[in-house]
Amino acid sequence: MEANGRGGDNDAARAPLLAGRRRNSVGSMRGEFVSRLPKKVLDAVDPERPSHVDFSRSKGLLEGEKEYYEKQFATLRSFEEVDSIEESNVISEEEELMEQRQSEFAMKISNYANVVLLALKIYATVKSGSIAIAASTLDSLLDLMAGGILWFTHLSMKSINVYKYPIGKLRVQPVGIIIFAAVMATLGFQVFLQAVEKLVVNVTPDKLSPPQLMWLYSIMIFATVVKLALWFYCRTSGNNIVRAYAKDHYFDVVTNVVGLAAAVLGDMFYWWIDPVGAIVLAVYTITNWSGTVWENAVSLVGESAPPEMLQKLTYLAIRHDPQIKRVDTVRAYTFGVLYFVEVRY
């Protein structure tokens, strides 16, 4: 991290945090850095937590100065995170197995739920004839396909032949997610075409009977509640594949609510609300999953880590061993879901 300060009394306080700090801990760096701060900045430092600042307690600081010092203290906090990881060492094998079992359970229950909800939605589609509900049903069908892709990806990463795949299968995970997202985006485009065709034909459909409305409400509300519960459960996982499931569950909640609203409003008021709702869902699907494809494609290409990550890696490398006098170059770029790091001393 480099300083961009002007000359004068602030030069010392604005020196790079790692300058001359080859083996010093973040505590010593923080102590010396804070001791050289001007009074108007020192007033904002929390005495109990020296790495935290509250500039509302300080006067006379320009916006540029606040931004600069906030970045400096954020860097100190990131170094503290590195030290805490070093002290706690690695996650125990039991914790890893527990996390793996939780991830597999989340994937299994998601797949089972998709099977049940698909059957219910097919019935709702047949009874209602709504294209918006049909869009939601097709989404459930592709959930099963995508779920199979993600489950296969998970199993593939568990069984590794070190002779055939010497660097492992870390890139299998984003590949599976890309396939998943591509299928979802394709679904959105197909539904979009069907909805536009229905608007062009301009034929008013028959009204839904009370029993049909009752079944429609029951099935779609039940599906929404189930998907909402699965989203809450899966979103906290540290596994990227399970988080992909969570994203899909959230998307299903949106499609269920919009699809139900479009079908009911189209039946009660204007028939064209139903295909318009389907078009909205299709555009949302294409936009949402196209972004997912791009994010994971970048991770396969090898995008550079953000500056904050490079700072942490530099701090970790320079404190790795007392014999290290300096760090010449630190590179880190995406390698599947992780970073591949190169350090030159």
**Residue 329, SS3?**
strand
pLDDT at site 14? 47
Each residue's pLDDT tens digit, 56-105: 777 777 778 778 888 888 888 878 777 776 555 544 566 667 777 777 78
Spatial distance between the Cα atoms of 233 and 235, rounded to a whole number of angstroms: 6
Q: Across all residues in the chain, what is the average pLDDT?
A: 75
Spatial distance between the Cα atoms of 208 and 229, rounded to a whole number of angstroms: 29
Q: Which helix (H) or strand (E) holds 34?
A: helix 26-35
pLDDT at residue 2 is higher than 60: no
End-to-end CA separation in angstroms for the chain: 18
Domains of the chain: 26-88 (no CATH), 94-299 (1.20.1510.10), 307-344 (no CATH)
Each residue's pLDDT tens digit, 273-306: 888 888 887 887 778 777 777 877 887 777 888 8
Q: Do the beta carbons of residue 274 and residue 129 sit within 8 Å?
A: no
pLDDT at site 6? 40
**Residue 182, SS3?**
helix
Instruction: Place 334 in a pLDDT band, splitting at 50, 70 and 90.
Output: confident
Backbone angles phi, psi at 329, to 5 degrees: -145, 140
| Cβ neighbours for 239, distance < 8 A, ≥ 6 positions apart | 99, 103, 106
Backbone angles phi, psi at 23, to 5 degrees: -125, 10
Closest alpha carbon to 62 in 40, 33, 95: 40
Spatial distance between the Cα atoms of 187 and 326, rounded to a whole number of angstroms: 54
Each residue's pLDDT tens digit, 156-179: 666 666 667 666 666 777 777 777
- Stronger pLDDT, 9 or 30, i.e. the higher one: 30
Backbone angles phi, psi at 43, to 5 degrees: -65, -25
Q: Do the beta carbons of residue 117 and residue 226 sit within 8 Å?
A: yes
